[in-house]
Amino acid sequence: MNAYESRPLLYLSRQHDAALCRFLTQQGWKLLFARSREELDRLPLSHQPMAGLWDLHNGFDEDDLDAYEPWFGLGHIGWVGLVSSLDSVPAGPRRLLGMHFADYHTQPCDMEAVARSLGHAFGMAHLRHANASTAGLRSSAPHGMIGRCDAMQDLFRAIGKVAKWDAPVLIAGESGSGKELAAQAIHSASRRGSGPFVAVNCAAIPPTLLLSELFGYERGAFTGALKRKPGRIEMAHGGTLFLDEIGDMPLESQTSLLRFLETGRIERLGGTESISIDARIVSATHVDLEAAVAAERFRSDLYHRLCVLRVKQPPLRERDGDIILLAEHILNDIRKQSPDRIKGFSPAAIRAINAHSWPGNVRELLNRIRHAAAMCENGVVNPADLDLEPPAETRPLTLAEIREAAELHAIKAALQRHHERLIDVAEELGISRVTLFRMMREHRLQVRKGELGMVCLQG
């Protein structure tokens, strides 16, 4: 079905304008009505893209603003506002208009213009929805890893490449950044994918037990060894052995591990039989292994054996745009199991999430959102539920500032499209070259010197 065949429109107003309703219906919009926040909450809405029309002209309850806010932040609804005049709109709703709305119209409105804006808003909502679903499907992302930013795309490519080889891989990255997930992804995509994936956390097992965990033991090898037990290396035969937090491995175990890596054979503790094991080693560390080698806490020969291939896991704070994507994904998962209706993050929560530095990475994000989902009221997650500082209140932009930003954006984009050929830029923007020069000077835009037809502006 063509996505534009049925265009749902959510019309939020105390008093619906009958003439406008008729006109919009004729234009192919399928109208859903809500007169209050309660009615809005009761609507049987799917997550399909739709347009939204918020009528501030016919009055609304300012006390309800906090409850409306999450609705305006929803990516799959493209909003347009109806106001009496912009001056009559109080600061709170004006901020919302500026932040979340594709457009607004003053009453009495030009119905065709409103329909056009709704069309644009719907188109953008459709686009956001399609992007979100692609991320949700994670078609290119291995093993359920979420990430659209450049850093994660680089990681996915690196995972794809190292998966083709059978050499040891070292994954470096901060705690909670997803190293184990990356290790599983490498395993799944490798020729060993159908074999076992055995993880050993070298930091979590007491040093005295690590050797027996890794190599196993024979009956009677030590007091308490009542029967033979195969070690983790043996269990990984035919698959991948994931050595997590390898930087914390005691030197004694390092020596035994090195012997296995060199010979491909192990002996169980207390045993004499030498067993050949075919396992690929993927290891991970949050510590700087080179520094550990320099400090003689880590054997340099083992280090070189382990990091034939290297993968760097980016910390969450460097994943531009992905933090919210991950947060929404996590909340969506929780939503499915939640006894209460969870609507989403308030815009303040989204700003707080973006402003936080995430020292605990994805694990911290998971924990904060799980906590917040349980603590939030009315289904809206606020900064306090996440235990995050509320972000500094941003002043709503003035009309002049909005216009100036739009002007700068339009000029820059046109310059890029026309390879900085000013005659074409001026023509496209519908202004004279003199006006273009003046505007560029005001915006401190310079054009690179050199090519014919280009001008260099100083200043």
Ligand X SMILES: Nc1ncnc2c1ncn2[C@@H]1O[C@H](COP(=O)(O)OP(=O)(O)O)[C@@H](O)[C@H]1O
- Binding residues for ligand X, rule: CB under 6 A, are 145-147, 173, 175-181, 362-363, 366
What 8-state DSSP symbol labels residue 269?
Answer: B
180 binds Mg ion (CB under 5 A): yes
User: What residue 362 binds from Mg ion, ligand X, none (CB within 5 to 8 A, per partner kind)?
Assistant: ligand X
Given the rule CB under 5 A, which of 60-68, 101-109, 179-187, 232-240 is the region that contacts Mg ion? 179-187
Size, binding site for Mg ion by CB under 5 A: 1
Nearer to ligand X, 146 or 170 (CB): 146
Element (H, E) at 92: helix 91-100
**Locus of tokens 């020729």:** 191
User: What residue 73 binds from Mg ion, ligand X, none (CB within 5 to 8 A, per partner kind)?
Assistant: none
User: What residue 247 binds from ligand X, Mg ion, none (CB within 5 to 8 A, per partner kind)?
Assistant: none
CB of 168 to Mg ion, least distance (A): 18
CB of 179 to Mg ion, least distance (A): 5
Q: What is the rounded distance in angstroms from the CA atom of residue 228 to the CA atom of residue 361? A: 40
Instruction: Give the three-state DSSP class for 111.
Output: helix
Residue of minimal CB distance from ligand X?
178
Nearer to ligand X, 353 or 411 (CB): 353
Nearer to Mg ion, 50 or 292 (CB): 292
Helix, strand, coil in percent for the chain, rounding step 5: 45, 15, 40
User: What residue 135 binds from ligand X, Mg ion, none (CB within 5 to 8 A, per partner kind)?
Assistant: none
Residue of minimal CB distance from Mg ion?
180
Q: What is the rounded distance in angstroms from the CA atom of residue 224 to the CA atom of residue 206? A: 17
CB of 185 to ligand X, least distance (A): 10
Q: Which residues of 76-104 are buried (b: 16+ CB within 10 A; e: fewer)?
A: bbbbbbbbeeeeebeeebbbbbbebbbbb
Residue in 208, 199, 205 with CA at minimum distance from that of residue 233: 199
CB count, 10 Å around CB of 335?
A: 15
Phi, psi of 256 (to 5 degrees): -65, -40
Q: What is the rounded distance in angstroms from the CA atom of residue 214 to the CA atom of residue 277? A: 12
State both tokens at 109.
């409105």
Nearer to ligand X, 81 or 173 (CB): 173
Nearer to ligand X, 70 or 178 (CB): 178
Given the rule CB under 5 A, which of 34-42, 51-59, 158-166, 172-180 is the region that contacts Mg ion? 172-180
CB of 310 to Mg ion, least distance (A): 17
Interface residues toward Mg ion, by CB under 5 A = 180
